Each structure stands twice: as structure tokens, then as C-alpha cells.
Amino acid sequence: MKIYKTLVGLGLAVLLGACGGGGESGGAVQLVAGRTSVSAIDDLTAAPGTAASTQGSTLCGFDVGAKKLQGSVSAVHDGDTVKLNAAGVVHKIRLDGIDAPELAQAFGSLSQSTLASAVLGKTVQVAYSQTDQYGRIVGAVFTAGCDYVNLKQVASGMAWFYRAYQCELSAPLRAQFAKAEDAAVASKTGLWLDADPTAPWLYRNGVDPVAPACSSASSVWTGNPAPLSGSSSASTGTVVSSNCFQIWVNPYTRSNGTHVNGYWRDSAGCA
């Protein structure tokens, strides 16, 4: 697919980086800015992977996390992950509420360059509550003009609404992300030009997570969502421990058009 080769005024260089859309993976290409002038609003208080308050606040009219950072985006790994230089400290930021195509997927590079055109080399604010298991800050990114970058990626068809983690957004934001995705699908915008695009979480591991029913209108940190699974029976395997069970992987289509039939597999806790 077509990749934008030039992003005007951002002084880009292409370097090798390491970040997948939903986790950490090697071999990705990141876009890097030529300048990094920054300032910090609030200090980080939670170490990577530790619990932090999910108490919210309002920024640019949106309900977001209470912690704030301001800095310049120094690199864009893909369509949902950037590096932020805040007061000389570089933080990896995972945009919450969305999952962008992997760089190897259709629209992956375009999603990356679209995000880069919005934030690379520019001063942004990040509102967040938590870090994930990879040590990334998971939060909402806003431009100086109060553009909500996460939501714009979905509205422009450059990312999916990540419903498996929807409870980490407030109820009004869930509705806005769902509405933005529905509009992009209806207008065949971006990745929705494809009749049946492969979700990045299916591309990564073939597992379709459960979209949880949120118990609160406020944002709640959900951790890792459970994968969709079929009903267990003697013919499909026996649970040997609380950490070992069989998971049903739904049929899906790889980016090269190869169809994969549904199948059972052991969970990570099986020996």
C-alpha cells in the first residue's frame, strides 16, 4: 500500500526501533524528530507496572487520567505508540483506547505516518493513570490545539477502538470512540476501505479478547482481558490447574489472504 514518504516540516529520520501495537516486538521502524525541547507538568509517581490511581480529571473537555505530562514527541513507533521527551526524560507512551494496525499489516505504515504528522516534533500533553506491563505510560495525547489524538486516529480509520480495554475509558469516552469507529466503518475511511480488515490483536496472536461489560461509568484499570474461549469438554481437553486451560481461537485471515480455521490451543500456564 502507499506510504507517505515525506512529512513536511518535521525533520524526520528513519531508525530501527522496537515496539508492536499491542506489546513489545523487535524489527519495527520508528519515525524520529529532529528536535526535542520539552517541559514537565507533573512528575511520574508510579514505577512501570505498578498500580496507580485511576482518579480522573478533565483536559480539553474530555474525561481523562489525573496525571499529566507535557513534552515533545521525539519518535513515533507505530500508529499508537510514541516517545515523549519531558524535561530530558524519555517516556514511552501507549495511546489508550485504540489499537493501530501492525506495521506489517495493510495501513500499518500509513497509520504510523498519520500519527507522526499530528505529533512528531510537536509539544503535546499526555493525561494518564497507569503504566502497562511493558513499562509504557498508557494515556490520552492532546496537541497544543486540544486535538484528542487517540480519538482522531480512530475517526480517520487509522486505528481500531480497543474494546477489550474499553473499561479504562469513562463511559462518555467509550461512546465517543464507538461512534467514531462506526462512522469510519460506514464511510469506508482508512483501513475500513478493506471489506474485512484483520484486527491487529488477531494478526498478532490469533486470539480475540472478550470486550468486558464495564461495571462503572468511570475509568477502571482492567489489566489483561481474557481471550474468547469455547466450552470445555472431555474431547477438547481437561483443566489440569487453575493456570492451564484450553482456549478456542476464532477463525481469522492473515494479511497475506491465508485463512486460518478455528482451533483449540493450550494457555500459557500449561506445561
Catalytically active residues, by annotation:
94, 102, 136
Helices (H), 37-160: 108-119, 149-155
Which DSSP string corresponds to 152-201?
Answer: HHHHTTSSEE-GGGGGGS-HHHHHHHHHHHHHHHHTT-GGGGSSSPPPHH
**Interacting residues of 43 by C-beta distance below 8 A, sequence separation 6+:** none
Q: Of 185, 225, 190, 223, which Cα lies nearest the Cα of 205?
A: 225
- The dihedral region occupied by 186, where left means phi > 0, alpha psi between -120 and 50, and beta the remainder, is alpha
φ, ψ of residue 6 in degrees (nearest 5): -135, 130
